């Protein structure tokens, strides 16, 4: 009995000690957890290195779909994308899906392997001002060419978005080249003449509202649509439908009426679904603005193409990897008008009182990280049942993406082609 009493007493003492220890353990703060989930990533033209490289490489190797949600128009994120292409290519890389219209993207596909690729694309953009978004960037063009080189001759770009503001002239030229009948040809030629006049006005003013796509009325388009339906042929019909869908999306965005973002997302999903139906086993890299590639609902309240791919991957029992990539500070760039160079602006996400995920990542960067190291955060390690104390931005980010990547500094790319402002 005495031994039993002693054993019971020891057990009770151990239990009390364990309880006292448990009471003194302080849960990790989110900043501590963020620091544990982060790793330095060195990004060089020859590839990735540093502690984050193995983490990223393993995740890419395991994924059929790799999605990069970005800040547009930098030089550094396209270079990052090129290195992801190099990781994917040995396991097969079928295509790169981009935030550009299908017809403009096909024009880039036709030129991306040419020795004078840059000049050819510049000439195309000069002939048709504002014909495409994003692929008019010199840095984006280099990434496309580099990805095509490492992925092999079967690699293609898939343009999923609506066409861009200045595409009308190019679409009319393609309609006429398709050999429409006399009724359709007369109507298309009349619209093409109106479009040329509109381009000159838009180049003079810089305003996209002067372009044919935003200026044309239903009264001008409806007779052409009827004639194209009558003897235009399938190709002209498809091109005219693309023009009208693009116009409808921009009009909804301009007026604030209708669901422009939802309509655009649904268009991109349909276009991607058509590609995947043609190539069911395709391994695809995607590069879009960050809002488009969230899993679940994005901050705009849309289930966009990133969610579509995540669900599609689940249905195939394969993996999709969603990365968001941004810069801590530097110089950004954006649209600045028809035929104009890009607008540039300085930014610093690490200053100010407002919450910003990039600021939090940089504050939690490992002490041993070099100044020019990028930081890779494995968001999967931050998912838990209880995230109610996090900011809405972090909750959306952790659930919407698998990795967050922050470059220490971004610099702006430049545009190819274009006209000089008056």
Per-residue burial over 343-371, b if 16 or more Cβ lie within 10 Å, else e, is: eeeeeebbeeeeebbbbbbbebbeeebee
User: Comparing C-alpha atoms, which of 358, 351, 396, 355 is closest to residue 377?
Assistant: 358
pLDDT of residue 419: 58
> If you count them, how many residues does the chain have?
422
Q: What is the dihedral of CA 98, 101, 106, 112, to 10 degrees?
A: -40
| Backbone phi and psi for residue 385, each to the nearest 5 degrees, phi listed first | -70, -30
Instruction: Write phi, then psi, for 66 (nearest 5 degrees).
Output: -120, 125
Determine which helix (DSSP H) or strand (DSSP E) holds 159, and give its type and residue range.
Answer: strand 156-159
Rounded to whole angstroms, the Cα distance separating 422 from 419 reads 9
Q: State the DSSP H helix or E strand holding residue 44, giving kind and residue range, or none if neither.
A: strand 38-44
CA-based end-to-end distance of the chain: 103
Residue of 10, 68, 31, 77 lying closest to 360 (CA atoms) = 31
Closest to 312 measured CA to CA, from 275, 354, 359, 364: 275
Q: Which residues pair with 67 in a beta bridge?
A: 286, 322
The token pair at 144 is 């496309």
Rounded CA separation 388/397 (Å): 14
Specify the DSSP class assigned to residue 325: E
Q: What is the CB-side half-sphere exposure of residue 344 using CA atoms within 13 A?
A: 11
Please give the order of strands across the beta sheet that includes 284-289.
47-49, 38-44, 374-378, 403-407, 320-327, 65-70, 284-289, 95-98, 156-159
From first to last of its 422 residues, the chain has per-residue pLDDT tens of: 454 554 444 454 445 545 545 556 678 889 999 999 999 999 999 999 999 999 999 999 999 999 999 999 999 999 999 999 999 999 999 999 999 999 999 999 999 999 999 999 999 999 999 999 999 999 999 999 999 999 999 999 999 999 999 999 999 999 999 999 999 999 999 999 999 999 999 999 999 999 999 999 999 999 999 999 999 999 999 999 999 999 999 999 998 888 999 999 999 999 999 999 999 999 999 999 999 999 999 999 999 999 999 999 999 999 999 999 999 999 999 999 999 999 999 999 999 778 899 999 999 998 889 999 999 999 999 998 778 889 999 999 999 999 999 999 999 999 998 654 33
Q: Residue 152 has which token pair?
A: 């092999």
| CA dihedral of residues 366, 48, 138, 163 (deg, nearest 10) | -90
Contact 133, 100 (CB under 8 A): yes
Answer yes or no: are the C-beta atoms of 416 and 121 closer than 8 Å: yes
What tokens does 273 get?
A: 């679904």
d(CA 205, CA 217): 20
Rounded to 5 degrees, φ, ψ at 155 are -65, 140
């Amino acid at each position: 009995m005495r031994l039993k009493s002693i054993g019971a007493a020891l057990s009770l003492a151990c239990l009390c000690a364990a309880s006292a220890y448990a009471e003194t353990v302080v849960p990790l703060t989110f900043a501590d957890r963020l620091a544990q989930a982060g790793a330095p990533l060195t990004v060089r033209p020859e590839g990735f290195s540093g502690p984050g490289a193995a983490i990223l490489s393993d995740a890419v190797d395991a994924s059929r779909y790799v999605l990069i949600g970005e800040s547009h128009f930098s030089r550094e994120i396209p270079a990052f994308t090129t290195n992801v292409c190099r990781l994917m290519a040995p396991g097969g890389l079928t295509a790169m899906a981009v935030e550009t219209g299908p017809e403009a993207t096909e024009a880039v596909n036709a030129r991306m392997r040419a020795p004078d690729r840059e000049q050819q694309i510049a000439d195309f953009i000069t002939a048709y001002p504002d014909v495409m978004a994003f692929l008019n960037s010199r840095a984006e063009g280099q990434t496309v060419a580099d990805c095509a080189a490492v992925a092999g001759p079967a690699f293609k770009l898939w343009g999923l978005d609506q066409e861009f503001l200045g595409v009308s002239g190019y679409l009319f030229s393609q309609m006429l080249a398709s050999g429409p009948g006399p009724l359709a040809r007369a109507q298309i030629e009349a619209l093409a003449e109106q479009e040329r006049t509109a381009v000159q006005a838009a180049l003079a003013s810089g305003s996209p509202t002067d372009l044919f796509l935003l200026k044309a009325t239903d009264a001008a388009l409806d007779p052409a649509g009827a004639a194209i339906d009558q003897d235009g042929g399938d190709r002209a019909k498809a091109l005219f439908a693309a023009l009208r869908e693009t116009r409808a999306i921009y009009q909804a965005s301009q007026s604030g009426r209708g669901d422009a973002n939802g309509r655009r997302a649904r268009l991109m999903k349909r276009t991607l679904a058509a590609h995947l139906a043609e190539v069911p086993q395709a391994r695809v890299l995607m590069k879009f603005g960050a809002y488009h590639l969230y899993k679940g609902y994005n901050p705009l309240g849309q289930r966009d193409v990133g969610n579509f791919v995540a669900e599609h991957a689940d249905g195939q029992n394969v993996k999709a990897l969603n990365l968001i990539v941004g810069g801590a500070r530097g110089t950004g760039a954006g649209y600045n008008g028809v035929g104009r160079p890009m607008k540039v602006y300085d930014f610093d996400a690490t200053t100010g009182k407002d919450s910003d995920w990039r600021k939090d990542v940089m504050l939690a960067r490992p002490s041993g990280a070099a100044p020019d190291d990028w930081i890779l955060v494995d968001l999967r390690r931050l998912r838990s049942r209880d995230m109610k104390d996090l900011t809405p931005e972090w909750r959306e980010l952790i659930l919407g993406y698998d990795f967050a990547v922050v470059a220490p500094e971004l610099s702006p790319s430049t545009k190819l082609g274009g006209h000089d402002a008056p």
